[in-house]
Amino acid sequence: MKAMMHTGAIAPRESNVPVILDNSWLKIWGERALLVLLLALFVTRGLVPAWRHVDPDFASYYLAARLTRQGYPAERIYEWAWFQRQKDHLGIEQPLVGLVPSTLTSILLIVPLTTLPPLPASRCWLAINLALLLAIAAVLRKITSLSWTWIGILMFLAVSPLRDNFLVGQVHVVMLFLLTVAAWLHFRSSHFASGIILGIAAALKVYTPLFALLFLVKRQWRAATGLVLGIAGALLVSIKSFGAAASQVYFLEILPRGLRGETIDPYGTGWNSINALLRRLFVFEPELNPSPVAHLPHVYALLHSVIYVLIPFAFLGAIAAKGTNPARQKLEWAVYCLVILLLFPEMRPYNFVVLILIAAAVVDYLVTRGQWMWAGAVVSLYVLACVPYDRLNNGNPHGWTSLLYFPRLWFLFLLAGAFLWFLLSNSAESLVNFKSRALVPAAGLFAAITVMVYFSDLRHLAGQFDNYGSRLTTTIGSAIAADPVATRDSVFYQGLVPQFKSAHDAYYVQRLKEGSIASFGGDGDWFHPAATIDGQRAWAEIASAGGSRVVRFQPSGSNLANPMPDGDVSDAERPAVSLDGEWLAFIRDVRGRGGLWIVRTGTPGIGPRPSERSDERPLAGPGYDVREAVFSPDGQVSFSSWQGGRYRLYSVGIQTGAPVEMTRVACSVRYPAFSPDGTRIAFSCERSGAWQLVTMNRKTGELLQLTNADCNSITPAWSADSKSLIYATDCGRAVGITALSKLDVKP
């Protein structure tokens, strides 16, 4: 371990510990051999495989950046199905894409690369990340006393974080670079510039604003000011680049759920977070977490609030001393980075690339003090936190066995415990702080914040589990079920079926009838089913390279049925069929903005070009930016339209007339659905970032809100008897990851 220090005549910076010369060729060459071995492991397991294909997460960043550059509406990039459709149209060879929960501004990193095809752009991104790794090593060389060899060893000991960053094309190497530069500036007393860098980093990943607590406790006002200005600048860049509407969607609908760990799968063992473990143990979800210890949301909220307040209180109390030497500043910075990792609700292995900075700073602190055994223990725990746990990440444990599926989290806790000991044992000032009169008000503040977080959690969870008893399907591990269409004897819906035995994960149209599910698809992604009330005729959108088309398929056919030869409409999305089955409405897209069209269902497709179908007629141009359409029982077509910064409902006649805005309500409105008896219309209404189900009596205009939980209830469809609604809900799940439920509606 002593060979970690610089050799030669260079003394360790900011330390009175003399350099220990070690001329043992065996040790020197052993270290170099270890570095070469780790580098070879990284190249063969991470870099080379990533070089051969478009990385999964990079595909999402690339797609969002390209759509933004081409002028598509940025507020739509968080819609799972719409985003997948654009991927299909561009022919990007990646089965599934989704931008949730990435920030809008993280897209800007990839915009310059979108002039290239996806694979060359991915390779350029890999080259940029390699250059950043070298730059990170150079900065670590400046801020630590470690040799180049040991900086390289510590860097490539982060086996899983580095490998996963390159395999999926994430931006966390950029985050590590920004955090390392911010640390270097901070240690040089350039506190304002350091804060600015951290504020810029917040534009990529939202955990750096937590440094504000450290700066406030240390009374480093210039750093805090720089952080605030950096965040403000990032917000302005976001609004300028993507528009107010997209920024509103992110900050109201995506970010709050992301901060609560409700993206993709809140119960996934691969998150390696306290939040995911607590949910796994104490929150039941029929498909994603069917076997917790018990369904005890109050216990989850209590433990969540206590742990998430206790961790920062303990560590900030230990580093609260105002005056510290430069070596301790490095220790405090590294320790606080680990605190942030522990607090963040969703941490995939690639997030832990930040451990490279943490390990280098702490090991440097220990070896300059001659604490070689402690340095060895830290390196060992660091290695255990960074090795792959791929099999456990995909596990589905039951009950208390979930505790065994979070090994990375436990090693982080051991590291945190060791770091807390270093802070307390090596600083009398910190020990004094723990024993001083400040402990009493600190305890009161801790209790107050804990109570606030506890009741905030309870308010957020209130009503989220009410839909469990009325779920239409319960398929373990199911991802997305949305856009239901009810017939007299079955329900069609759009499903994301990762467990389906096909060439790759994809969206399918599924039919639920008498408790059994049939899936239709196989040629691209199948979206947005439409069916006649008797269930004898059905349509769907197929998205593939070059565009979307609406096809008719045989509902009574077998799985993976081929489209029927008639009823094909080219350049068409989101079909809707009239109650009598005579008319088919669809959306024709112009750079992400939809126009509404209509065609008779009995007219067979006669060619690939829409102009060859003489009976196709537009009802509303792309200026209306149509999002969904539905037929009313009285021969009208109603649709949701993005106008003036909000969604509005319009209605237009099948034969003649211009669109007319329907009765206004005091919210943004999407997903209209008419009851078959014609008395009511249901829709989703956005309130405080959550979409709620609302019905309106068409005669009296009376509104009735049916849901009120802090989650989304969308795409309602009436049952054939007009007595209930079938809808998609992400309550108890993750933002946009919906399941189907049924809700009885009083006349």
- Please state the domain extents for the chain: 2-460, 468-744
**Do 412 and 342 contact (CB within 8 A), yes or no?**
yes
Asked if pLDDT for residue 523 goes beyond 80, the answer is no
**Do 385 and 410 contact (CB within 8 A), yes or no?**
no
Q: Identity (one letter) of the amino acid at 103?
A: T
d(CA 232, CA 226): 10
For 198, how many CA atoms within 13 A lie in the half-sphere containing its CB?
A: 29
| Terminal C-alpha separation, the chain | 77
| Multiple choice CATH, 468-744, 2.120.10.30, 1.20.120.1770, 3.30.750.24, 1.10.357.10 | 2.120.10.30
d(CA 573, CA 311): 50
Per-residue pLDDT band at 4 (split at 50, 70, 90)? low
Q: What percent of the chain has pLDDT over 70?
A: 90
Per-residue pLDDT band at 614 (split at 50, 70, 90)? low
Report the pLDDT value the prediction gives residue 255, as an integer from 0 to 100: 94
**Do 341 and 409 contact (CB within 8 A), yes or no?**
no
Specify the residue for token string 């979800």.
285
**Segment 668-700, tens digit of pLDDT:** 999 999 999 999 999 999 998 999 999 999 988
Report the pLDDT value the prediction gives residue 347, as an integer from 0 to 100: 85
Query: Do strands 737-744 and 724-734 pair parallel, antiparallel, or not at all (unpaired)?
Result: antiparallel
List 74's β-bridge partners, or say none. Answer: none
Tokens of 525: 């992604």
Report the pLDDT value the prediction gives residue 425, as an integer from 0 to 100: 80
Alpha helix (H) ranges present in 208-259? Answer: 211-217, 221-249, 255-259
Report the pLDDT value the prediction gives residue 231, as an integer from 0 to 100: 94
Please state the separation of Cα 380 from the chain's center in Å: 31
For 444, how many CA atoms within 13 A lie in the half-sphere containing its CB?
A: 4
Instruction: State which H helix or E strand residue 704 sits in.
Output: strand 703-705
> Which among 215, 222, 138, 234 has a CA at the least distance from the CA of 184?
138
d(CA 671, CA 641): 10
Asked if pLDDT for residue 360 goes beyond 70, the answer is yes
Asked if pLDDT for residue 563 goes beyond 70, the answer is no
Q: What is the number of residues in the chain?
A: 747
**Do 250 and 78 contact (CB within 8 A), yes or no?**
yes
d(CA 681, CA 716): 10
Per-residue pLDDT band at 12 (split at 50, 70, 90)? very low
Among 17-31, 413-427, 603-617, 620-634, the range with the most confident prediction by mean pLDDT is 620-634
d(CA 465, CA 620): 39
Please state the separation of Cα 512 from the chain's center in Å: 29
Cis peptide bond upstream of 161, omega within 30: no
Mean pLDDT of 517-543: 90
d(CA 483, CA 714): 8
Contacts of 190 (CB under 8 A, 6+ apart): none
**Segment 393-407, tens digit of pLDDT:** 777 889 999 999 999
Cα dist from 42 to 57, 157, 166, whole Å: 19, 9, 9
443 burial level (CB within 10 Å; 0-12, 13-18, 19+): exposed
Asked if pLDDT for residue 15 goes beyond 60, the answer is no
Report the pLDDT value the prediction gives residue 318, as an integer from 0 to 100: 86
d(CA 382, CA 395): 23
Angle at CA 350, nearest 5°, toward 347 and 354?
85
Q: What percent of the chain has pLDDT over 90?
A: 71
Query: Do strands 636-643 and 690-697 pair parallel, antiparallel, or not at all (unpaired)?
Result: unpaired
Q: How many helices (H) and strands (E) does the chain have?
A: 21, 23
Asked if pLDDT for residue 747 goes beyond 80, the answer is no
Asked if pLDDT for residue 18 goes beyond 50, the answer is no
Query: Do strands 680-687 and 538-544 pair parallel, antiparallel, or not at all (unpaired)?
Result: unpaired
> Which among 324, 514, 521, 529 has a CA at the least distance from the CA of 430?
324
DSSP string, 578-606: -TTS-EEEEEEEETTEEEEEEEETTSPP-
Report the pLDDT value the prediction gives residue 663, as an integer from 0 to 100: 77
Query: Do strands 626-631 and 617-620 pair parallel, antiparallel, or not at all (unpaired)?
Result: unpaired
Please state the separation of Cα 393 from the chain's center in Å: 17
d(CA 57, CA 394): 18
Could you give phi then psi for residue 186, rounded to 5 degrees?
A: -65, -45
d(CA 161, CA 391): 16
d(CA 687, CA 669): 10
Q: In what order do the strands lie in the sheet with 713-718?
A: 713-718, 724-734, 737-744
Contacts of 435 (CB under 8 A, 6+ apart): none
Report the pLDDT value the prediction gives residue 326, as an integer from 0 to 100: 84
Per-residue pLDDT band at 501 (split at 50, 70, 90)? very low
Q: Which long-range contacts (CB under 8 A, 24 or more apart) does 282-285 make?
A: 283/732, 284/465, 284/468, 285/468, 285/732, 285/733
Report the pLDDT value the prediction gives residue 504, as an integer from 0 to 100: 60
Report the pLDDT value the prediction gives residue 554, as an integer from 0 to 100: 85
Report the pLDDT value the prediction gives residue 500, as an integer from 0 to 100: 39
Q: Which of 315-329, 492-506, 689-703 has the lowest mean pLDDT?
A: 492-506
Report the pLDDT value the prediction gives residue 610, as an integer from 0 to 100: 42
Tell me the chain's radius of gyration from C-alpha atoms.
Answer: 28
Higher pLDDT, 422 or 663: 422
Report the pLDDT value the prediction gives residue 521, as an integer from 0 to 100: 84
Q: What is the mean pLDDT of the chain?
A: 88
> Which among 574, 560, 584, 585 has a CA at the least distance from the CA of 508?
560
List 22's β-bridge partners, or say none. Answer: none
- 12 three-state secondary structure: coil
Per-residue pLDDT band at 511 (split at 50, 70, 90)? very high
Asked if pLDDT for residue 5 goes beyond 80, the answer is no
Angle at CA 713, nearest 5°, toward 394 and 537?
90
Per-residue pLDDT band at 321 (split at 50, 70, 90)? low
Tokens of 726: 């079938």
Q: Which of 3-7, 15-19, 141-145, 439-443 has the lowest mean pLDDT?
A: 15-19
Higher pLDDT, 377 or 499: 377
**Segment 567-580, tens digit of pLDDT:** 689 999 999 999 88
**Segment 278-302, tens digit of pLDDT:** 999 999 999 999 999 999 999 999 9
DSSP string, 306-361: HHHHHHHHHHHHHT--S---HHHHHHHHHHHHHHHHHH-S---GGGGGGHHHHHHH
Specify the residue for token string 């990284």.
42
Mean pLDDT of 713-721: 96
> Which among 374, 305, 336 has a CA at the least distance from the CA of 223?
336
Report the pLDDT value the prediction gives residue 323, as an integer from 0 to 100: 55
Mean pLDDT of 135-140: 97
31 burial level (CB within 10 Å; 0-12, 13-18, 19+): middle
Instruction: State which H helix or E strand residue 59 sits in.
Output: helix 56-69
Could you give phi then psi for residue 5, rounded to 5 degrees?
A: -70, 155
Higher pLDDT, 746 or 621: 621
Asked if pLDDT for residue 619 goes beyond 70, the answer is yes
Tokens of 587: 């959306």
Mean pLDDT of 638-651: 92
d(CA 106, CA 201): 9
Asked if pLDDT for residue 158 goes beyond 90, the answer is yes
Cα torsion through 193, 197, 198, 201, rounded to 10? 170
d(CA 72, CA 86): 10
Asked if pLDDT for residue 8 goes beyond 80, the answer is no
Tokens of 280: 């796994």
Tokens of 275: 């939040």
Asked if pLDDT for residue 33 goes beyond 70, the answer is yes
Contacts of 546 (CB under 8 A, 6+ apart): 89, 91
**Do 438 and 430 contact (CB within 8 A), yes or no?**
no
d(CA 516, CA 446): 52
Report the pLDDT value the prediction gives residue 435, as an integer from 0 to 100: 53
Q: Which of 414-418, 449-453, 474-478, 515-519 has the lowest mean pLDDT?
A: 474-478
Query: Do strands 680-687 and 690-697 pair parallel, antiparallel, or not at all (unpaired)?
Result: antiparallel
